Structure 1
Amino acid sequence: MDFKNINIMVGIAALFSTVSLNSPGSDLNENHSHKMSNYEIKSDSKIYTVLTPLKDIIPQNLRGFKEYDEYAHSLMMSNSSQIFLTKDVGNNFVIYMIPHHEAAIITSIGVVKYTQNLEVKNLANRIIHAQEKEVEFMQKLLETGELRGNDNAQFLDKMKKIMIKMMKNMKPYSDHGNNSEEITKNYLRNMIIHHEGAVSMAKEYLKYGKNQELIKMSQKIILSQDEEIKEMKKILKKAN
Structure 2
Amino acid sequence: MSVSSSTVTRRRTLAAVGTVAALALTLAACGSSESSKSDSSSMPGMGHGSATAAASAAPGGTFNAADVEFAQQMIPHHQQAIEMAKLADGRAADPEIKTLAAAIEKAQDPEISTMKGWLRSWGKPLPAASASMGDMPGMDHGSNGSKMPGMMSDQDMRGLEAAKGKDFDKKFAQLMIGHHEGAVTMAETERKKGANADAKKLADAVITAQTAEIEKMNKIIARL
Change in 2 beyond 3 A, CA 1:137/1:230: same
Secondary structure in 2 matching 1:113: coil
Q: Where does residue 161 of structure 1 map in the other structure?
A: 147
1:229 aligns with 2:206: no
Give distance in 2, aligned partners of 1:174 and 1:142: 33
User: Residue 115 of structure 1 contacts residue 184 of structure 1 at CA under 8 Å; is this kept in 2?
Assistant: yes
1:102 aligns with 2:87: no
TM-score, normalization: structure 2?
0.58
1:181 aligns with 2:166: yes
Give distance in 1, aligned partners of 2:99 and 2:198: 28
Give distance in 2, aligned partners of 1:111 and 1:228: 16
CA RMSD of aligned residues (A): 2.6
1:133 aligns with 2:110: yes
> Taking CA–CA contacts closer than 8 Å with sequence separation of 6 or more, which of the two structures ends up with the larger relative contact order?
2
Identical positions, percent: 30
Give distance in 2, aligned partners of 1:177 and 1:207: 39
Give distance in 2, aligned partners of 1:238 and 1:173: 25
Change in 2 beyond 3 A, CA 1:134/1:175: closer
Q: Where does residue 45 of structure 1 map in the other structure?
A: none
Give distance in 1, aligned partners of 2:215 and 2:223: 13
User: Residue 160 of structure 2 contacts residue 171 of structure 2 at CA under 8 Å; is this kept in 1?
Assistant: no
Give distance in 2, aligned partners of 1:175 and 1:206: 32
The Cα offsets for residues 137-174 of structure 1, whole Å up to 9 and x where unpaired, read as 001111111779xxxxxx8558x3343x6547x94443
The AA in structure 2 aligned to 1:228 is E
User: Residue 94 of structure 2 contacts residue 169 of structure 2 at CA under 8 Å; is this kept in 1?
Assistant: yes
| Unaligned residue ranges in structure 2 (runs of 5+) | 1-63, 126-141
Q: Where does residue 21 of structure 2 map in the other structure?
A: none
User: Residue 147 of structure 1 contacts residue 211 of structure 1 at CA under 8 Å; is this kept in 2?
Assistant: no
User: Residue 75 of structure 2 contacts residue 112 of structure 2 at CA under 8 Å; is this kept in 1?
Assistant: yes
Q: Where does residue 96 of structure 2 map in the other structure?
A: 119
Q: Where does residue 25 of structure 2 map in the other structure?
A: none
Q: Where does residue 216 of structure 1 map in the other structure?
A: 201
Give distance in 2, aligned partners of 1:235 and 1:124: 13
| Larger Rg computed on CA atoms | 2
The AA in structure 1 aligned to 2:210 is Q
Change in 2 beyond 3 A, CA 1:103/1:226: same
Give distance in 1, aligned partners of 2:161 and 2:181: 27
User: Residue 173 of structure 1 contacts residue 186 of structure 1 at CA under 8 Å; is this kept in 2?
Assistant: no
Aligned residues: 144
The Cα offsets for residues 176-223 of structure 1, whole Å up to 9 and x where unpaired, read as 744211111111100000000000000001111011111110000001
